[in-house]
Amino acid sequence: MRSLAARQFGLTVVQSILPGVHAGATLKYVRGTVRVATDDGSRSDTDLLDAGEELEGGNASNRFDLDAGLMVVAGPMRFGAVMRNIRKPDFGTDLTPFALPRQTRIGAAIDAEQAGGPPFIFAIDADVRAYATGTGDRRVVAIGAEQWFWTKRVAVRGGARFNTVGAEERAATAGGSVALRNGLYLEGYIVHGGSEAERGWGIGTRVSF
C-alpha cells in the first residue's frame, strides 16, 4: 500500500485571447511525500485510506506542475476545457513510481438569464479519459443546475455524478446559498452516495467583490 501526502502553492494567470475566449494557467510548486506499507488485501477502501493517512516517514520530493484551461462564451452558452497535472509529476523512486495522473475535462453550460430568461443555469461536464486513484479508476460525468430566487438573495442547487468505470459509483448532490448582505454569502452542500471519499456535507461563507 502506498499513500501520497502533497502540499502545493500555485500562481494563476488569466488572459482574454479574443472576445469571448479566455485562457488560464496555474503554475504549481508541489511537495509530495510517498509512504509505503504492506497490505494483506483484506481491508476495505475506507480502511486503506484511513491507514494511509496514519503512515509516517517516507521520501519527500519537490516538483513543478501546470494546470491549464480554456473557456468560450457565446451568448447564453459557455464551453470549457481544463487539463490538470499536465506534467504528471512523479514523487516515487525508480523501484516504486508514484505519479499524479493527468486529468482532462470538458463541459458546457447555458445561462438562461443571458437570453432574457430567469436566473437559471444548467451545466454538464465529463472526463475525457479515465485516470487512476487510490480507490480505483475514475471517469466521471456530472450534471447540475442552479436557480436563484428573490432578486438573487437565495439559490438552490442540485446535481449528480456518475463514475463510468471501475466501481461505477453514483452520487447525488444538493446545496444552496443565502445572501446575508451584498457580496457576503452563507453556503452549504451535501453529497449522498458515491465513494466513501465523496460523501459528506459542509457549510461555509463566501465573499464576492
Residue 2 corresponds to which cell in the numbers above? 502506498
Co-location of 141 and 73 in the same domain: no
Co-location of 1 and 60 in the same domain: yes
Arithmetic mean of pLDDT, 87-95: 82
Taking only the tens place, the pLDDT of each residue in 127-170 is: 999 998 877 899 999 999 999 999 999 999 999 999 999 999 99
Co-location of 60 and 116 in the same domain: no
Burial class of residue 6, CB neighbours in 10 A (0-12, 13-18, 19+)? middle
Is residue 16 in a domain? yes
Of the residues 77, 111, 145, the one at which a domain ends: 77
Of the candidates 39, 37, 52, which has an alpha carbon nearest to the alpha carbon of residue 6? Answer: 52
First to last CA, the chain: 45
Instruction: Indicate yes or no: pTM above 0.75.
Output: yes
SS (H, E, C) 186-207: EEEEEEEECCCCCCEEEEEEEE
Co-location of 5 and 49 in the same domain: yes
Is residue 70 in a domain? yes
Co-location of 130 and 27 in the same domain: no
Co-location of 71 and 108 in the same domain: no
Annotate the chain with DSSP letters as a single string. Answer: -EEEEEEEEEEEEEEEEETTEEEEEEEEEEEEEEEE----S-S-HHHHHHHHHH----EEEEEEEEEEEEEEEETTEEEEEEEESTT--B-S-SSS--BPPPEEEEEEEEEGGGGTS-SEEEEEEEESS-EEETTEEE-EEEEEEEEEETTTTEEEEEEEEEE-STT--EEEEEEEEEEEETTEEEEEEEEEES-TTT-EEEEEEEE--
Taking only the tens place, the pLDDT of each residue in 28-73 is: 999 988 776 555 555 555 554 444 444 555 678 899 999 999 999 9
pLDDT at 96 over 80: no
Is residue 187 in a domain? yes
Co-location of 2 and 62 in the same domain: yes
Q: Count structural domains, the chain.
A: 2
Which residues span the domain enclosing 162?
101-209
Co-location of 114 and 66 in the same domain: no
Co-location of 70 and 106 in the same domain: no
Co-location of 73 and 154 in the same domain: no
